[in-house]
Amino acid sequence: MGSERKAPRGNEGMNRGIGPFPNPRMKKGEKKLHERHRPSTKVRTVWHEERLSMRFKAVLSDRGVSLLERGFVPSLEKFGKTCCLLLREDDVHFVQNVTCTDGPHVTAKLDRQVLFQTNKYRVESKHDNQIAFEIDLHHLIRVLRSAGAVGAESLSVKLTTKRTEDDPEPKPFLGFVTQGGDVQIEHDMPIGYPMENEDVDQVLREATVAQVCPYYLDLHWDLPRIQQVVERFKNISDETRMGTTKQGDLHLQVEKTSIQMGVEYRHLKVAPPCEEPPSLIASNAAERLDEATVAGDGNSVTVQIKNLNKTLRCPMEMQERVLCGIAENRGYVHFLFVFAHDGSRDHMHLSIKLPVAEDD
C-alpha cells in the first residue's frame, strides 16, 4: 500500500511519521498492486534501465482536481478497480479495456491545460515523451479527497521510486504532496511498472476515439428521465432492447414472460447534422422503429441493463452533451460525454463502449 506523512511546511530536517496508506477494500490475503501484477523479468529490467530517463512532475489545477475527484475517477471506478494511465506531452488518458471491466471499454481524455497548472507539467521518456502504467483507482480517489478535506492550496505529483520492506528492489510510485496552511501531507501511491514501448502504443490506440457510429443522439436534456426508466427496467430483466433513429428517436424496450414495457423519446438532437430523413408514419413506437430500420435510418441492439445503468449514472458534471450511438456493424453501443473548455469541445471527454448481446 502507500504511505502518508505529515509535517509543517518549510520545516527543514523535520521529523516525519510514516504510516500505512489506508485501503478499506484490502481483504485478508489480498495482494498489493505490485504483487498482483508482477511483471516479467524483461519488463523490470527495461524499467530499471530507463527509469532515469523517465520523468513526470506536475501540479494539478483546482479544476483538474475537481474533475478527477467528482467526475472522471468515480465514473471509471464504476467499471473496474484499475485502469491504465497514459501520460503524453499535451494530454492525459485513462484507459480501461475489457480485461479491467466486465465487458465495457472505457477511456477518458483530459488536456494538460485543463488538468494541470500552466507551466507546471513535465513528462519525459525515450518513447516520444510518453509513459503508461497501471493505477488503482481507489488509491487515487483517496488522495484527491484527502486534498479536498484539508483545503489544499496545491496538489503536486511526480513519478518516483522507493524500496519496500518486502523487497529491496526499487518499485515505481506516484508521489503526491498536498500543501495547505502550515501542513504538508505526502502520499506514496504504488503503481504498475511503466510499460514497454509497444504496449504504450497499444494503449494509445485504445485511447483514441474517433467518430465510430454513423450518427449519435444527444441525451443530455432527457438524461434524468432515461435514468428513471432504466432503473425500473432492472426489476424486470437483465437486458434491454435499445434502438435509435436518424429522426432523433431513442427506443428502450424490455420484456419478460408476460411483461412488456417500452418507452420512446422523440426528436432528440442528432449529431453530426445530416440531411433530414423522411418522417415516420407508423402509429406506435415499435412500428416506427421497424419503419426506420427497414429504410436504413435506424438500428437496435440488446445490452445489459447493469452496464447501461452504470453509464447513465456516471457522476459527471458540467458536460455539454451526452451522445449515444450504435455502431454500423451493431457491435457495440457508444456513449460519449463531451465537455466544453474555452469554447472548444476537444479538450476532454469520457467514452464508454458497451458490448451487445451475442444474438445481435
Q: Average pLDDT in the 108-133 region? A: 95
Asked if 127 contacts 31 with a C-beta cutoff of 8 angstroms, the reply is: no
Any idea which of 7-16, 60-69, 224-233, 274-283 has the lowest mean pLDDT? 7-16
Cα 16 versus chain centre, distance:
35
The pLDDT of residue 341: 62
Q: What angle do CA 145, 20, 27 make, to 5 degrees?
A: 90
Any idea which of 147-151, 221-225, 270-274 has the lowest mean pLDDT? 147-151
CB atoms within 10 A of CB 202: 16
Q: How many helices (H) and strands (E) does the chain have?
A: 10, 20
Q: Read off the C-alpha cell for 291.
A: 419503419
307-349 confidence digits (pLDDT tens): 999 999 998 777 889 999 999 999 999 999 998 765 555 689 9
Predicted confidence (pLDDT) at residue 302 exceeds the cutoff of 60: yes
d(CA 327, CA 48): 43
| Ordered alpha helix ranges (H), the chain | 33-36, 41-50, 62-67, 73-77, 112-115, 137-149, 197-207, 223-233, 285-294, 305-312
47-74 confidence digits (pLDDT tens): 555 666 799 999 999 999 999 999 999 9
E-assigned strands of the chain? 3-8, 19-20, 55-60, 82-87, 91-96, 105-111, 116-124, 131-136, 154-162, 171-180, 183-190, 216-218, 239-245, 250-256, 259-265, 269-271, 298-304, 321-326, 332-338, 348-355
Predicted confidence (pLDDT) at residue 84 exceeds the cutoff of 70: yes
Predicted confidence (pLDDT) at residue 83 exceeds the cutoff of 60: yes
Predicted confidence (pLDDT) at residue 239 exceeds the cutoff of 70: yes
Any idea which of 28-42, 104-118, 197-211, 245-259 has the lowest mean pLDDT? 28-42
Asked if 175 contacts 157 with a C-beta cutoff of 8 angstroms, the reply is: yes
d(CA 31, CA 233): 37
User: Among residues of the chain, what percentage have pLDDT more than 70?
Assistant: 82
Q: Average pLDDT in the 124-132 region? A: 96
The pLDDT of residue 167: 75
> How many residues would you count in the chain?
360
Residue with cell 513528462: 123
User: Among residues of the chain, what percentage have pLDDT more than 90?
Assistant: 64
* Residues ≥6 apart with Cβ < 8 Å to 56: 87, 122, 123, 124, 131, 157, 158, 159
